[in-house]
Amino acid sequence: MNEIKHVLDKGYIRLTNVMGSDLSVVNSARVSYDKESSELSDGDIRLIKFLAREGHTSPFRHATLQFEIYAPLMVARQHWKYIVGSDHTMDAWNESSRRYITEEPAFYIPMPDEWRSAPENTKQGSGAPVEFKTGFDMTVELEEFIEKGERLYNEAVAQGVCAEQARLFLPAYGMYVRYYWTASLQSVAHFLNQRLAHDSQVEIQEYAKAVREFAKEKFPVSIEELIKPKG
């Protein structure tokens, strides 16, 4: 459970725990008939496909995955918004707090070729990359902004200001935060269907791809069926 998948410039996802397998889904569904499989058969695979296709989701909530995630705050808050909106699928969330810790801050800084333009037809999302010179200027300005915020933060701490107030000097949205996310297999699949979509924020798509890799390793049949495009 120590494999890490790196995301963005400094982020990562680590799978810390798993309960269950594709077989857990099958046996949860068949308990109504007092039946149990000891190993996954072709019939069991057909049952998983049926459950996913027909929207019978409760058996997928009897398996869980736990992740440690290190992501920029803008990604973590979008992830959290999804959690609040789908708590019926069984989730838990615990996050490090700068009220209590003063670890070295880390920030997401896009490279010059990673800055994106505003979309033409919507108020959210992003479009094509901006010109390289514009991107270069943005990277330099962001680095200078972060450097100033860190300096003011460290000065406040050195003068005895409490961590929960000193953090006000830190630029928020790009600052990395570490958290644990525990979710049912159904919830993980719902997250993937939402955040692998082409119109979701690019940065959270990268985290979703890493989650999908971990989930598919542990639940290959269920994930294949649950995140199929719905026609």
Nearest residue to 114 (alpha-carbon basis) of 92, 130, 127: 130
Give the residue from 205, 5, 11 showing the smallest Cα distance to 108. Answer: 11
Residues 116, 101: Cα–Cα separation, whole Å? 33
Cα 105 from Cα 176, distance rounded (Å):
7
- For the sheet with 4-7, list strands across it: 4-7, 11-19, 64-72, 176-184, 91-95
Question: Could you give the CA distance from residue 95 to residue 25 in angstroms, rounded to a whole number?
Answer: 29
Tell me the two tokens of residue 137. Answer: 């200027």
Dihedral of CA atoms 193, 195, 197, 203 in degrees, nearest 10, equals: -160
CA dihedral for 164, 165, 168, 170, sign (positive or negative):
negative
Residues known to be catalytic: 195
| CA neighbor of 78 nearest in space, from 184, 177, 223 | 177
DSSP annotation of 39: S
